Structure 1
Amino acid sequence: MSDTVGPERHARNRFGFRPFRPILAGATLRERLIGCLGALAGITLTGLICGWFFGQGPHIPLIIAPMGASAVLLFAVPASPLAQPWSIIGGNTISAFMGVLAAHFIPDPVLAIGVGVSLAIAAMSLARCLHPPGGAAALTALIGGPSVTSAGFLFPLFPVCVNSVILVALGIAFHKISRRSYPHVAVAMPANPHGTTDLPASIRVGFTPDDVDAALLALHETLDIDRADLDRLLRQVERHALVRLQGKLTCGEVMSRDVVTIGLDGSVARARELLLAHNIRTLPVVDEAGRLAGTLGLRELTLRGAFGLAQAMVEASTARPDQPVVALSACLTDGHTHAVVVTDGDRRVLGIVTQTDLLATLTRLLLAKAFAPPVPDAP
Structure 2
Amino acid sequence: MPRISPADRLTSWLVALRPAPLTVDHRERWRAAFGGFIGILITGLLCRWADGAWLSGHALPWLVAPLGASAVLVFAVPGSPLAQPWSVVGGNTLSALVGIACANLIPDPAWAGAAAVGLAIAVMFAARCLHPPGGAMALLTSLGHVTHFSFAAFPAFIDSTTLVLAGMAYNQLTGKRYPHAQRAAAAPAPGEPQPRFSTEDLDAVLRRHNEVLDVSRDDLESLLRETEAQSYQRLLGDLRCDAVMTREPATVQFGDSLQTAWSLMRERKVKALPVVDRWNKLVGIVTLADFMRHADLDLHEGFADRLRGFVRRVTTVHADKPDVVGQIMTRHVRVASADRPVLDLAAVFSEGGHHHIPIIDERKQLVGILTQTDFVRALYRAVGK
Question: Does the pair score TM above 0.5?
Answer: yes
Structure 1 residue 190 displacement after superposition = 4.8
Count of aligned pairs between the two proteins: 272
| Residue 232 of structure 2 is aligned to residue 235 of structure 1 | no
Q: Name 1:132's counterpart in structure 2.
A: 132
- Structure 1 residues 104, 230: closer, same or farther in 2, change over 3 A? same
Please state if 1:187 is matched with 2:179. Answer: no
Q: What does residue range 189-208 of structure 1 map to in structure 2 within 5 Å? A: 189-190=185-186, 206-208=196-198
TM-aligned CA distance change 1:245 to 1:132, over 3 Å: same
Asked if 1 retains the 8 angstrom alpha-carbon contact of 2:92 and 2:133, the reply is yes
1:22 aligned partner, one-letter code? A
| Contact 2:103–2:143 (Cα < 8 Å) also in 1 | no
CA offset at residue 192 of structure 1?
A: 11
Q: In 2, distance between residues paired with 1:103 and 1:39?
A: 30
Give, in whole Å, the separation in 2 of the partners of 1:68 and 1:327: 49
Give the conservation status (yes or no) of the 8 Å contact 2:195–2:225: no
**Distance change >3 Å, CA 176–CA 220, structure 1 → 2:** closer
Unmatched tracts of structure 2, length 5 or more: 3-7, 245-330, 353-361, 363-368
Partner of 1:153 in structure 2? 149
CA distance 1:140–1:327, change in 2 (3 Å): farther
The 8 Å contact of residues 191 and 345 in structure 2, kept in 1 or not, is answered as no
Which of 15, 34, 37 is matched with 2:34 structurally? Answer: 37
Is the Cα contact below 8 Å between 2:192 and 2:344 reproduced in 1?
no
Sequence identity (%):
43
| Kept in 2: contact 1:239–1:330 (CA 8 A) | no
Quote the offset at 1:143 in angstroms.
1.8
Give a deviation string over 1:4-47, Cα, whole Å, max 9, x none: xxxx99x98xx959x985244x4222211100000000001111
Alignment check: 8 A CA contact 1:92 1:137 kept: yes
Give the direction of change, closer, same or farther, for the CA distance of 1:34–1:191 in structure 2 (3 Å limit).
closer
Query: What TM-score, normalized to structure 1?
Result: 0.60
1:219-230 map, 5 Å: 219-230=209-220
Cα distance in 1 between the residues matched to 2:206 and 2:92? 28
Counterpart contact for 1:63–1:159, Cα < 8 Å: yes
Which of 322, 326, 343 pairs up with 2:343? 326
| Closer/same/farther in 2, CA of residues 127 and 70 from structure 1, 3 Å limit | same
* Residue number in structure 1 paired with 2:68: 68
Contact 2:185 2:219 in 1 (8 A): no
* CA distance in 2 between partners of 1:328 and 1:187 (Å): 28
2:254 corresponding residue in structure 1: none
Aligned-pair distance for 1:53?
A: 1.4
Secondary structure of the corresponding residue to residue 22 of structure 1: coil
How has the CA–CA distance of structure 1 residues 246 and 162 changed in structure 2, closer, same or farther, with 3 Å as cutoff? Answer: same
TM-score of the superposed pair, with normalisation by structure 2: 0.59
Find the structure with the greater CA-based Rg: 2
Residue matched to 1:313? none
Q: Tell me the secondary structure at the aligned position of residue 155 of structure 1.
A: helix
Equivalent of residue 51 in structure 2, options 54, 58, 68: 54
- Say whether 1:209 aligns with 2:199: yes
> In the superposition, relative to structure 1, how do residues 251 and 222 fare at CA in structure 2: closer, same or farther (>3 Å)?
farther
Is it true that 1:108 corresponds to 2:108 in the alignment? yes
CA RMSD of aligned residues (A): 4.4
Evaluate the alpha carbon distance shift between residue 137 and residue 22 of structure 1 in structure 2; reply closer, same or farther with a 3 A threshold.
Answer: same
Distance 1:21 1:142 in 2: 33
Gaps of 5+ in 1: 3-7, 194-199, 255-276, 281-320, 336-350, 352-358
Contact 2:193 2:347 in 1 (8 A): no
Specify the code of the residue in structure 2 equivalent to 1:140: L
CA distance 1:370–1:125, change in 2 (3 Å): closer
In 2, Cα distance between the equivalents of 1:80 and 1:181?
11
- 1:365 is matched with 375
Whose relative contact order is higher, 1 or 2, with alpha carbons under 8 Å and at least 6 apart? 2
Task: State whether residues 191 and 344 of structure 2, in contact with CA within 8 Å, keep that contact through their aligned partners in structure 1.
Answer: no
Describe the superposition over 1:319-371 as per-residue Cα deviations: whole angstroms up to 9, x where unpaired: xx89x552786999999xxxxxxxxxxxxxxx9xxxxxxx9587523134669
Alignment partners' CA distance in 2, 1:327 and 1:216? 32
User: 1:263 — aligned with what?
Assistant: none
Letter in 2 for 1:237: T
Conservation of the 8 A alpha-carbon contact between 1:89 and 1:165: yes
AA matched with 2:139: L
For residues 105 and 348 of structure 2, the distance between their equivalents in structure 1, rounded to whole angstroms, comes to 60
